[in-house]
Structure 1
Amino acid sequence: MDENQEEDLSRAEVLEAPQMGLTRVAAHMCLDIFDSARHRRKLYVGEWLPEPVPDRTTTVVSTPVRALDRITLGESVNTALTVVPESLTPAARVAFVLRNMFALSFGEIAAIVGRTPQMCRKLASSAWRHVRHRRRREIASDVHTRIVTAFRAACDTGDLTTLVSLLDPDATTLSDGGGKVRAALNPIHGAERTARFMLGVLVQHPELEATLQSVNGKTGLVLRHDTAVSGVVSFHVQNEKITDIWVVLNPDKLRSWNRS
């Protein structure tokens, strides 16, 4: 089948079954975007993190929040869950969304992603296990907020001992500067190294003010210089210990936080 025949077939599908046809077109576009993004990230300077989303009640955002934005701000779509899919292949991510969000059959998904129905079932199941594992590890919002608040207070006073006590021994910090601003190029592992890194950032930049604020639906820290947001920090807490810290410093990913 040549390209013209495929194009005619796609048009016929859209006319005969609009919902399925448009879903297929959108899914193919997503696959192309994922593949392109994966290639760009190979050239990305340092660690790559998803763009943090401000809560709809955040005062720095003056524009109305659309319905789709409200979905991304939900409790189930926090930083932990947006980081996990990045480890999946584009086909697995699309299979997961089409199955769990649009309830497509695995036969329909197979026609879209170019895999067998059996393989699509495995891809979707694997993706769901990743997400479900993260959800099981989530703690109550008030506990999360209490731990992050204590973390901020320890940073303010330079209390290294307290900071270390709040961190899991295997805690990991990722810092995303995108080559635009200074950031750690590699992951930082361990409670003490993470604590010293966070204190070092604040000591080197005394002009920054860290405030508690909702980040992707969970309490995080927003770093401001005067009124401009210079960084956003989000946390994953398990068993009342911080296991992951994500620091986004790339100004290109902070535009939604700096809208006037």
Structure 2
Amino acid sequence: MSAIAQGSSRPTLRPALARFGWATWEWLAMPLHYRAVHRLHVAAETGDRARLSALLAPTVSVVVDSGTGVASGVRVIQGVADATVVLEHGFKRMDGVLVDERSVNNQAGLIISRAGAPIASVAVDFTGRLVSTVWVRLDPAGRRHWNTVYA
């Protein structure tokens, strides 16, 4: 019997191929996520509740962190109906407030600023093509780089 048939200790290519496959998927999916975040932003900003609801997973969560570092400063909103209301309110056009599509935590996200100072960062997670979680960090004063959000 050959050494391969007996289960030799020779490393297999399967883990390397799996990592390559995942990295390739991430590379291909990244532009899709940025376009999806753009659609989310536009639907919420314009108040198009039907379009916004269609972008959200049925079990969507919006996690709002006040940035104070205490557990009582974190709120979780679940479900499409409540999430649409929160997102519409948060992305509503107001004088002096700019919602900019940028990378947050090295993924598609949004930076909300007032008078040039960031007041919130928004990271978006996906399950397939639908938004599964929206992470909102208010008062991101602890941020040192645009691509890093400190929890």
Are the counterparts in 1 of residues 41 and 91 from structure 2 also a CA contact under 8 Å?
A: no
Fraction of identical pairs, as percent: 26
Aligned equivalent of 2:16: none
Distance of aligned partners of 1:178 and 1:214 in 2 relative to their CA distance in 1, 3 Å threshold = closer
Aligned equivalent of 1:178: 67
Distance of aligned partners of 1:172 and 1:206 in 2 relative to their CA distance in 1, 3 Å threshold = farther
Equivalent runs, 1:35-184 vs 2, <5 Å: 140-179=29-68
Distance of aligned partners of 1:162 and 1:206 in 2 relative to their CA distance in 1, 3 Å threshold = farther
Distance of aligned partners of 1:206 and 1:196 in 2 relative to their CA distance in 1, 3 Å threshold = farther
Give the letter for the 2:77 counterpart: I
Matched, 1:230 2:119: yes
Matched, 1:250 2:110: no
- Where structure 2 has 5 or more consecutive residues not aligned to the other structure, the ranges are 1-18, 147-151
Aligned equivalent of 2:99: 210
Which has a greater percent of strand?
A: 2
Paired residue secondary structure (1:171) = strand
Distance of aligned partners of 1:177 and 1:206 in 2 relative to their CA distance in 1, 3 Å threshold = farther
Q: Mean Cα displacement is larger for which, 245-254 or 207-216?
A: 245-254
Paired residue secondary structure (1:140) = helix
Aligned equivalent of 1:56: none
Paired residue secondary structure (1:187) = strand
Distance of aligned partners of 1:248 and 1:144 in 2 relative to their CA distance in 1, 3 Å threshold = same
Give the letter for the 1:173 counterpart: V
Paired residue secondary structure (1:163) = helix
Matched, 1:240 2:129: yes
Matched, 1:191 2:77: no
Are the counterparts in 2 of residues 202 and 208 from structure 1 also a CA contact under 8 Å?
A: no
Aligned length in residues: 121
TM-score, length basis structure 2: 0.68
Distance of aligned partners of 1:215 and 1:165 in 2 relative to their CA distance in 1, 3 Å threshold = same
Are the counterparts in 2 of residues 174 and 184 from structure 1 also a CA contact under 8 Å?
A: no
Query: Any runs of at least 4 consecutive aligned residues in structure 1 with deviations exceeding 6 A, and if so which?
Result: none
Deviations along 1:81-114, one digit per CA (max 9) or x if unpaired, are xxxxxxxxxxxxxxxxxxxxxxxxxxxxxxxxxx
Larger radius of gyration: 1
Are the counterparts in 2 of residues 171 and 243 from structure 1 also a CA contact under 8 Å?
A: yes
The Cα shift of 1:215 comes to: 1.2
The Cα shift of 1:206 comes to: 4.9
Q: How many angstroms apart in 2 are the aligned matches of 1:177 and 1:219?
A: 21
- Where structure 1 has 5 or more consecutive residues not aligned to the other structure, the ranges are 1-131
Aligned equivalent of 1:39: none
Give the letter for the 2:110 counterpart: L
Give the letter for the 2:65 counterpart: D
Are the counterparts in 1 of residues 118 and 139 from structure 2 also a CA contact under 8 Å?
A: no
